[in-house]
Structure 1
Amino acid sequence: MQRAVILVSVLVLGSAWTLQGAHVLPESLTLTQENFDLSRFMGQWYELAVVSTCPHYMKRKRGNPVIVALELQHVASESNFTMTATSFRNDSCKQTSTDYALTNTPGRFFHHIARFGADVDTYVVHTNYDEYAMMLLLSIEKPSGNETTTAKLYSRTMDVTPAVMDNYKTLVRQLGMSNGAIIMNQNKGECVPGDLETEPTTQPQISVTKRLKRKVVPAVNSGNI
């Protein structure tokens, strides 16, 4: 049997979950895919589902629950990769580009959202590279210290198997969020972007492990993929 699949893209807007200085994560949760292979993770993905502790982000997503096309590109000699996101917004096709800095932990990335003053750590919790990836995003705003947890489901196609969805729901529950809050993005047709927008980012200050705390919870057996 494969181990229980638990996983997590990508912009965290605002914050709502203040935890007195630390994200509290289940002890049983493995933060990153074992033996993560960055080159296999690059390429085309679709963001199919999302749930977050941030009410502002969730309100925005409910108002426009569209599938986001993601293109990940990495140059071997560089310490970051670029994610280009394409989706419909306000009845027009928009495209944005964000740089994610690599860290010393394979499968963990960092970027800073200047307009919200938010540092964001993104973890590839689980992926089989060819079908799905489950993403965990932990953000913290400065100087307020407000924190947000977001879980996203990526797919190489515009759908996933019931088994993959069940394991994504397992991750959501382990993070203390409700399956009923999950937003399933919808396919609204071909999206052809115009001008490319760039999200302002900064280089990482990688000293965030200390703010991750864990609580012990029973391991969840979510079956095979």
Structure 2
Amino acid sequence: MQRAVSLVSLLVLGSAWILQAVPVLPDTVILTQENFDLGRFMGKWYEVAVVSTCPHYMQRKRGNPVIVALELQHVASEGNFTMTAASFKNGSCKKTTTDYDLTNTSGQFYHHIARFEADVDSFVVRSNYDEFAMMLLLSIEKPSGNKTTTMKLYSRNMSVRTAVLDDFKTLVRQQGVSDDTIITNQNEGDCVSGDQVTKPVTPQPQISVTKKWKRDAMPPGLTAQEEDAGNV
């Protein structure tokens, strides 16, 4: 008997949103925005709110709930893009750079965190490009098999409209997470040149998306997120 396919229901923001289904597990489909425009998604973002099923990550974020500045850059001829994340910690500006591999599905990206042997898939589930983007991260840590779901709200500015935040809360609830646990990051200002910088995160060699799904047979997740990286 064919297994029923469940869809992640998403609240419609304003007018109807056009989404495309991305298979992750045999009984799970993630909806991403159809006709996703990578070029419009690039540029400066701020991580203004976040929630995760990883207790360690949430504890660390509560201890330093600051807005993370993100700079996304893509070279048209390359199959990846870089994200430089910057935020204040202990009075210093910490910066990390991570490479994200593009996949065969628009609005879906992949990166590997060698420190935790974790594969992470990120999905742009909703964005109007000029104001906000709502992200869903699914990850799995190996060899433990620990899985994590993380949701992040990006804004082009260091603030976000109440209506957008309310829709983000709805998305969080639809993933089975209480919206009371959402961490709203605080504005500590932009990192400036000359502040302390950390070494870039070293990415693993690019992995074929098709091979990766066959290998994992489950959505990648992350139990111990990269410290203050603010990754997609």
TM-score band by shorter chain is: 0.7 to 0.9
Looking at structure 2, the residues matched to 75 and 41 of structure 1 have their Cα atoms a distance apart, in angstroms, of 13
Unaligned runs of 5+ in 2: 1-13, 20-24, 220-232
Looking at structure 2, the residues matched to 185 and 5 of structure 1 have their Cα atoms a distance apart, in angstroms, of 29
Unaligned runs of 5+ in 1: 7-21, 213-225
* Maintained 8 Å contact 2:44/2:69: yes
* Maintained 8 Å contact 1:79/1:101: yes
Aligned length: 194
Deviation (angstroms), 1:208: 2.7
Q: 1:189 to 1:169 in 2, by over 3 A?
A: same
Q: Among 194, 204, 207, which residue is 1:204 paired with?
A: 207
* Maintained 8 Å contact 1:23/1:147: no
Q: 1:70 to 1:23 in 2, by over 3 A?
A: farther
Looking at structure 2, the residues matched to 59 and 196 of structure 1 have their Cα atoms a distance apart, in angstroms, of 22
Looking at structure 1, the residues matched to 184 and 146 of structure 2 have their Cα atoms a distance apart, in angstroms, of 26
Q: 1:60 to 1:5 in 2, by over 3 A?
A: farther
Query: TM-score, normalised to structure 1's length?
Result: 0.81
Deviation (angstroms), 1:211: 1.9
Higher relative contact order (CA 8 A, sep 6+): 1
Q: 1:63 to 1:5 in 2, by over 3 A?
A: farther
Does residue 1:144 correspond to 2:144, yes or no? yes
Matches within 5 A, 1:132-211: 132-192=132-192, 193-202=195-204, 203-206=206-209, 207-208=212-213, 210-211=217-218
Equivalent AA in structure 2 for residue 162 of structure 1: T
Matched-pair identity in %: 64
**Partner residue, 1:126:** 126
> Over residues 80-133 of structure 1, what are the superposed CA-to-partner deviations in whole Å (9 max), with x where a residue is unaligned?
000000101122111110000000000000000111111000000110000000
Equivalent AA in structure 1 for residue 127 of structure 2: T
Q: 1:156 to 1:24 in 2, by over 3 A?
A: farther
CA RMSD of aligned residues (A): 2.1
**Partner residue, 1:71:** 71
> Over residues 136-195 of structure 1, what are the superposed CA-to-partner deviations in whole Å (9 max), with x where a residue is unaligned?
000101111110000000000011111111110011001000010000000112322333
Query: TM-score, normalised to structure 2's length?
Result: 0.78
